[in-house]
């Protein structure tokens, strides 16, 4: 998979994308991620890419031409999915992550300040994606969330599919509780079934606990899966 991120702050993105699982995935070639500085596409000698909004209001608006030129240079007639990180967009959930993870090429645009001149979106066909019903300073953090989520589903990034298919939200439920050594910590013992070696009983425990945790923390999700408890 190829992911291109258009941003005013490529160094911010690179810091995160060079670490941990994502960093190793880039090094191995499992995914190609490139950050592009939108300021490189302005004719302004001070590298300015924003101006005051027409109609008044506080803050500044990113100009259309630098953004458009940056995206155009990345796309270059290739078949890709354009994504704009926006609080007005489609809510990001695991199903949308799965959908975007199947794309061969994602181009993610990060807005900043008050936003981007709307004529860019009249000219280019972006899918708008939101990471929640709130506003942050810029699109960089949301873009990194999306990049991380789709990258970990790519072949060769994690050991195998079981590394993510048991995660919360993969099948609509939350993950069961997790334990590691020591077996007893501050008087609290690991559930006996997990050290029993009985794989069928362990799997049954995980499913039951997954339903319990979902019911406790996300009753809205539990309502969609409460009949699953009849399966064991």
Q: Is 181 a catalytic residue?
A: no
Contact 13, 141 (CB under 8 A): no
Query: Of the listed 167, 183, 203, 223, which one is catalytic?
Result: 167
* Sign of the C-alpha dihedral computed for residues 110, 104, 24 and 22 taken in this order: positive
Closest alpha carbon to 93 in 218, 203, 178: 218
Which neighbouring-strand residues pair with 129?
90
Query: Of the listed 87, 123, 148, 218, which one is catalytic?
Result: 87
Q: Is 152 a catalytic residue?
A: yes
Q: Is 114 a catalytic residue?
A: yes
Query: Of the listed 114, 123, 128, 209, which one is catalytic?
Result: 114
Residues with catalytic function: 87, 114, 152, 167
């Amino acid at each position: 998979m190829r992911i291109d991120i258009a941003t005013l702050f490529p160094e911010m993105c690179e810091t995160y994308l060079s670490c941990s699982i994502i960093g190793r995935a880039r090094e191995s070639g499992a995914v190609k991620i490139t950050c592009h500085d939108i300021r490189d596409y302005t004719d302004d000698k001070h590298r300015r890419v924003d101006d005051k909004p027409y109609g008044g209001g506080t803050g500044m608006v990113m100009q259309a031409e630098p953004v458009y030129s940056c995206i155009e240079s990345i796309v270059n007639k290739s078949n890709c999915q354009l994504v704009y990180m926006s609080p007005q967009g489609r809510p990001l959930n695991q199903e949308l992550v799965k959908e975007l993870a199947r794309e061969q090429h994602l181009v993610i645009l990060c807005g900043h300040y008050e936003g981007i001149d709307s004529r860019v979106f009249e000219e280019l066909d972006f899918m708008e994606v939101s990471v929640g019903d709130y506003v942050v300073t810029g699109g960089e953090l949301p873009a990194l969330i999306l990049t991380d989520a789709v990258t970990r589903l790519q072949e060769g990034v994690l050991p195998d599919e079981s590394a993510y298919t048991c995660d919360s939200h993969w099948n609509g439920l939350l993950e069961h509780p997790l334990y590691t050594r020591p077996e007893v910590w501050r008087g609290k013992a690991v559930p006996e079934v997990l050290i029993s070696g009985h794989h069928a009983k362990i799997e049954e425990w995980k499913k039951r606990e997954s339903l319990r945790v979902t019911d406790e923390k996300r009753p809205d999700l539990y309502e969609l899966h409460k009949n699953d408890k009849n399966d064991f």
